[in-house]
Structures are given as structure tokens and as C-alpha cells.
A and B are shown apart, each in its own frame.
Chain A
Amino acid sequence: MSKARIATVWLDGCSGCHMSLLDIDEGILAIAAKADLVYGPLVDAQEFPANVDVTLVEGAVSSQDDLKLINKVRKNTRVLVSLGDCAVTANVPAMRNGIPPKALLARIYTKPPTDGVPALLKNALPVHEVVKVDLHVPGCPPKPEAIGFVLGELLEGRKPDLAGKVKFG
């Protein structure tokens, strides 16, 4: 049997969800036996690949780059998982919503950066307001056990029942 292809994506978030993913400790071995990690901040691939079985998305959709990437992720992914509160609710990144991006940058930087940084969207958005999401795993971050459970169930071809396993915050 060929291995499943898993990707992770880091949009507007603090990387805490990726930390929590690493915190599943030896649970990662069982997952590694069944799946390859084909894209994400933890591996070297530069372009989001085609034909991905499961993508865990951390972070809100906050910039033009996020928007481009999430559309590509959706196109190339069978099961798209919003991982953590930033992806699920837009969370802390959304605290800027309501402030025009230009005014926001002017307040933070004496000289707002323009080169090599993507333009901000008007609002930071939860992933499901931009593309279809197949599963939501809230938490800031979601507990390692919840992430391990989700991956385990998905790799077995089941839809994870998250009742009692997750919460916002």
C-alpha cells in the first residue's frame, strides 16, 4: 500500500499549532509509518505539491500570499483541516480587523515595509470563509492528543469525532 501524503501550511499564526503537532511525541512514529510529509515549514519542498491527501492549515488568511496559497492548497488537497483557532476563527490575527491595513502599518512602522512582503488583506479571515474546509480542530493550540487523534482517524479513512476533545482557546 502506498503511503498517504500529508502537508502542513503556516498562514497567519504563531506556529504554536505546528509546535503542538511536534508534541505528539512518539505518536508521530505511527503516523510516519503510514504517511509522508510532503510540504510544510518542517520540510524542504518549495512549491505546494499536487495530489495531497490531508493538509493541516495553521493560521488565518491574512495576506495576498495566504490567499494564493490557500486556493492552491484547496485545489490540490482531498481533506483540508483547519488546525487551531487562527484557522478556525481568525483568532488573534483578526484583532486588527476594522483597522484599515494602511493605518495599521503606519501605526506599527515608522517606514512601512513594501519590498518582499505580501500586501495585507482588509481583514484576517478564518479559512472556511475563503475555501471549503472539511474538518475544524479548534484550540490555541489544539492539544497534541487531539492532533494525533485527527491524523490517526483520517489515515484510517474515518471522520474524526471531536466531541469532548477540543475547545476554543
Chain B
Amino acid sequence: MQPTLTIDGKTVVIEGERNLLELIRKANIDLPTFCYHSELSVYGACRLCIVQIEGRGIQGACSTPPEPGLKVQTTTPEIREIRRIAVELLFSERNHVCSVCVSNNHCELQTLAAKLGITNIRYPYSYPKLKADLSHRRYVMDQNRCILCSRCVRTCAEVEGAHVWDIAGRGVQSRLIAELCQPWGTSRNCTDCGKCVQSCPTGALAEKGYAVEEMTKRSEPITRLAAHRGASL
């Protein structure tokens, strides 16, 4: 007999999935994520894919391996509220001004907020003083719009193999940095490939020369390239 577990009361067969999130998506249940990418290492930072596991409490689906017999609930009033809080805190932590952002109307943070029915942020905005790094010839990095999902960090390290990006500091002092906190444009490792830009869910990484609403991202080529890692060319 095949190993199974239940998701929202539905029996789902475990077929070598690496984590609960894969199983949940296989069962056609929509779970929001920012930091998760199917072809990158699991990071578990955004806390949006949290699920209720009977006897274990609330855990991140992306970083929980599937085990036979688990009883998983993907949406409860408590989980819905925690997700909402997580997204609201992202908005209050940096300076997200959707109306003047290159990624307006193409932003995962903005889209998810609308989907979760968020019409205002209940926490005081922190208005941090943050800079944009304009030193790269082709791209811009704006800390004001970064949600620290680290998709760019992992895409650069694991797909492009350049490892230009990292996250420095802790807690609210966490910052995306290029090299050892040098201007992006001075990086010797950066290949100008732009995969980080395409992987970014918000307007934090964007191509130069785009105005408000003009920046759209294509993450599909990253998924395709990542699947070919290790293949002989």
C-alpha cells in the first residue's frame, strides 16, 4: 500500500515529494509563498505556507517532510490571521509605496495583500531610512521594497553559481547585500545575467530604464535552467 496523509480531510498519496508544500500543491490547494521556489533550496522565511498539523501545531509546509498519517489543515481562522499579520508586518517594515513602484500591478506582495483582503496595515509603519543601489550598469536594488525572501540570493548562488547576494544583519537590521556589502556595480562575480531581478517578487530588484508599472518579471526561465543543473552540456 502506498503511504498517504490527509490534507484538509482529503487523502493524498506521498510519491517522493520533498515537503508538505509540494503535496499540498499536488492536491490543487493554493498556498501563498514568497520565499519558496520549487527548484531552489528551502529557506522557510516568509511563514506564509504555514499549516496546522494535528498533534504538532503550526508549521511551515515548505520545510516539513511528508510523513504517512499526518493530518494537515491548510486554512483555519488562526492560520488565516497569522498569514495576514505576516504580510502586514512586511508592509510596515519597509517603505512600500505601490503607487510609484516600477512593479506596481505586477508585484507578488501587492497581489497577495489584495487576495488576503488586506485593506490597511494595523501596525505602525517604521519608515526606515533605506537606500537604493544604482551602481550597477543595468539594474537597480532598492532596499525600501525588499521583503528579504532571499530568492535572489539562492537564484544567484544555486542557478547562476555566482553568489553575489547575501543577507547581512539580524532582525529588522537584515539587509540584502552584494558581495561583502559593496556597491553592486563593483561586483566582480556578478555576470549581469539578471536572474536575481527576474526572481524578485517585488520591485526591490528591477531593470534600469523602467517607469512606474513597467517592470514585469519572468521567473519561468529560472525554473527551466535550475532543472538542468548538473546536466552535461
Contacts and interface: CB of A to CB of B under 8 A. Distances in A.
A169 B104 contact: yes
Interface stretch (A26-34, A42-50, A69-77, A83-91): A83-91
A157 interface: no
B110 A89 contact: no
A91 B129 contact: no
Given A89-B120, A91-B97, A92-B97, A167 B125 contact: no
Interface in A145-160: none
Contact of B119 (A92, A123, A162): A162
Contacts of A163: 117
A133 B120 CA distance: 10
Given A91-B97, A136-B120, A167 B127 contact: no
16 contacts: A85-B98, A94-B125, A95-B95, A97-B125, A98-B128, A123-B127, A136-B120, A137-B119, A167-B98, A167-B110, A167-B114, A168-B96, A168-B99, A168-B110, A169-B99, A169-B110
A82 B122 CA distance: 13
A91 B105 CA distance: 16
Contacts of A89: 91, 97, 120-121, 125
Contacts of B55: none
A98 B129 CA distance: 7
Contacts of B125: 89-90, 94, 97, 126
Interface residues on B, range: 20 to 34
Interface of A: 82, 85, 88-92, 94-95, 97-98, 123, 126, 128-129, 133, 136-138, 140, 162-164, 166-169
Contacts of A85: 98-99
A137 B118 CA distance: 10
A127 to B, nearest CB: 9
B226 interface: no
Given A89-B125, A92-B100, A126 B120 contact: yes
Interface string B35-60: 00000000000000000000000000
A140 B95 contact: no
Nearest to A140: B99
Contacts, number: 65
Given A94-B127, A167-B113, A169-B105, A136 B119 contact: yes
B124 to A, nearest CB: 6
Interface string B153-192: 0000000000000000000000000000000000000000
B120 A98 contact: no
A97 B98 contact: no
A46 to B, nearest CB: 31
Nearest to A88: B120
Contacts of B91: 89
A138 B127 contact: no
Given A89-B121, A126-B121, 13 more contacts: A89-B91, A94-B95, A94-B127, A98-B129, A128-B120, A133-B120, A137-B119, A138-B120, A140-B98, A167-B113, A168-B98, A168-B99, A168-B114
Contacts of B110: 167-169
Contacts of A95: 95, 97
Contacts of A88: 119-120
Residue in A94, A95, A169 whose Cβ sees the most chain B Cβ within 10 Å: A169
Nearest to A164: B114
B101 interface: yes
